[in-house]
Amino acid sequence: MPLSLTEEQEMLSRSAAEFLADRASIAQFRVWRERTHEQAFDPELWREIVGMGWPGIAIRESQGGAGLGFEGLGIVLEQLGRHLSVTPMNSTVLCAATAIQLFGRAAEQAALLPQIIEGSLTFSLAWDERPHFDPFCVATAARSTAGGWLLNGCKRSIADVSSVDRFLMVCRITGEASDREGLGVFIVPRHTARLRIEVTPMVDGRNCGEIVLDGVELGVEALLGGAAAPAATLEWFADIINAGLAAELLGISEEAFARTLRYLKDRSQFGKLIGSYQALQHRAANWFVELQLARSLVQEALLALDADPASSLAAQGPALASMAKAKASQVAELATNEAIQMHGGIGMTDAHDIGLYIKRARTLEQAFGDQSYHLDRLARLGDY
C-alpha cells in the first residue's frame, strides 16, 4: 500500500498540526500538568477542537459527522501524539462514538452522536478489570431488576475519569467471568448514586482512575442496544481502539525521531557534530526504517477497518489491528529509548521535552493489550 496521503488527508494533517502546535503543544501540556490533577482536560480547548469538527470525524455524514472514517481519525490521533496534546479524543471519539455506532440502536445513535459532535457530551470507556487487558474477563455484574438494572463491581484504568459526563461500562449480564458471550455495554452518568470514583494521576501526567459500583441502579434504557453485545463485535471494537492508539504511538515515534535528528545535526562533542559519527548514523537509519514499517501497518489497519465488511481487506482487519498495535508499540519503545540515549544526560531530565515522550508511549503501549498480548492474538488468529 502506498504511504502517501490523499490531498484531503494532507490538508487534514496540516491543519491538525498547525492547530495543535498553537493551542495544545508540549508547552501547554506542561502548564496543564502543573495546574491540576483533578481535571482531565481543558474545557476551553475542547470547545475549540469541537469547532474544528474533530469529534465527528469518523461519524457517518448521514448522522451529522464528517464521514472521513478511521483513516481520518488516525491522522488526527497521530498529530495528538506528536504534540502530546491533552484532550478527550481517545475516550470520547475513538472509544465512545465508535461504541455507539457499533452497539446503539438508531434512536440511541440519533440522540447521542449529535451531542458528541457538538461537544456537549463526553464519555470514557470502562472495560478493564485486570492489570492486563482481557476483553472477556469481566466480572462486574449487571443484574436485571423490575425497574431496570443493578450494577456491582470495579473498573480500573479509566481515562479522563474525573471530567467526563458519562461512562460506557462493559458489564456481565449472563455467564461466568471469562465467557465470550453475555457482555453488555451500559451508559452510566458520572453522578449516579452508589458510584465511587478514585482518581490516580498517571506517569504521563494524564488523568486516570478506578470506578467502584456498589449497587448502582439504572433504568432499562441504560443498556446500549437493548441486548448483550456479540463477542465478535466487541473484538472488532477493541481492534478499532487499538488501531487508533497505534496511530498515536506512531506520532510519538515520528516526533521523537524528528527531534533527535535535529539534535544530532546541532550538537557538537569533541569538536565534531555527533551526527557525523557513523555508529549514530546507522542507528538512526535503522530507526527510520522501523518507522516506515510501523506507518505502513497502521495505515493498512485503519484502511481495513474502514473497508466494506464483505471485502477481503475487512476480513484481515483483526490481524492487521493487532499487527499495527504490536509494531507501533515496539517502534515507540525503540524510538523513545534511542531518543533519550542520543540526547545523553539531558534526555533523562524532566526539564527537557524529549523525556516526556517515553512516559506517554509506555501508557499507550499497555492500553488494550501490550506487544505480547497482540502477538499471541495474532498467532491464535493464524491458527498457530
What is the rounded CA–CA span in Å between residue 89 and residue 360? 15
Torsion sign (Cα): 112, 124, 60, 15: positive
- Asked if 119 contacts 46 with a C-beta cutoff of 8 angstroms, the reply is yes
- Asked if 14 contacts 80 with a C-beta cutoff of 8 angstroms, the reply is no
Torsion sign (Cα): 242, 50, 157, 167: negative
Q: What is the pLDDT of residue 1?
A: 46
Which pTM does this prediction carry? 0.96
Four-CA torsion 326, 350, 255, 294, nearest 10 degrees: -10
- Asked if 138 contacts 183 with a C-beta cutoff of 8 angstroms, the reply is yes
Domain regions of the chain by residue span: 7-120, 125-226, 231-381
Four-CA torsion 234, 237, 238, 240, nearest 10 degrees: 160
Altogether, the residues listed in the chain come to a count of 384
Which distant-in-sequence residues (6+ apart) come within 8 Å of 233 by Cβ?
102, 103
What is the rounded CA–CA span in Å between residue 377 and residue 88? 28
Tens-digit pLDDT string for the chain (384 aa): 455 788 999 999 999 999 999 999 999 999 988 876 678 999 999 999 999 999 999 999 999 999 999 999 999 999 999 999 999 999 999 999 999 999 999 999 999 999 999 999 999 999 999 989 999 999 999 999 999 999 999 999 999 999 999 999 999 999 998 999 999 999 999 999 999 999 988 999 999 999 999 999 999 999 999 999 999 999 999 999 999 999 999 999 999 999 999 999 998 888 899 888 899 999 999 999 999 999 999 999 999 999 999 999 999 999 999 999 999 999 999 999 999 999 998 888 888 999 999 999 999 999 999 999 999 999 999 988
Give the β-pairing of 207-219 and 148-155.
antiparallel
- Asked if 184 contacts 138 with a C-beta cutoff of 8 angstroms, the reply is no
- Asked if 333 contacts 250 with a C-beta cutoff of 8 angstroms, the reply is no
- Residue ranges of alpha helices (H) inside the chain are 7-23, 26-35, 43-52, 69-83, 98-103, 106-117, 231-266, 278-306, 312-315, 317-343, 354-366, 371-381
* Residue 87 half-sphere exposure toward CB, CA atoms < 13 A: 29
CATH class of 231-381: mainly alpha
Q: What is the pLDDT of residue 36?
A: 64
Joined together, the cell numbers standing for residue 216 give 448502582
- Asked if 264 contacts 274 with a C-beta cutoff of 8 angstroms, the reply is yes
Which distant-in-sequence residues (6+ apart) come within 8 Å of 377 by Cβ?
318, 322, 369
Joined together, the cell numbers standing for residue 323 give 499487527
The CATH code belonging to domain 7-120 is: 1.10.540.10
Burial 127-155 (b: 16+ CB within 10 A, else e): bbbeeebebbebebbbeeeeeebbbbbeb
CATH class of 125-226: mainly beta
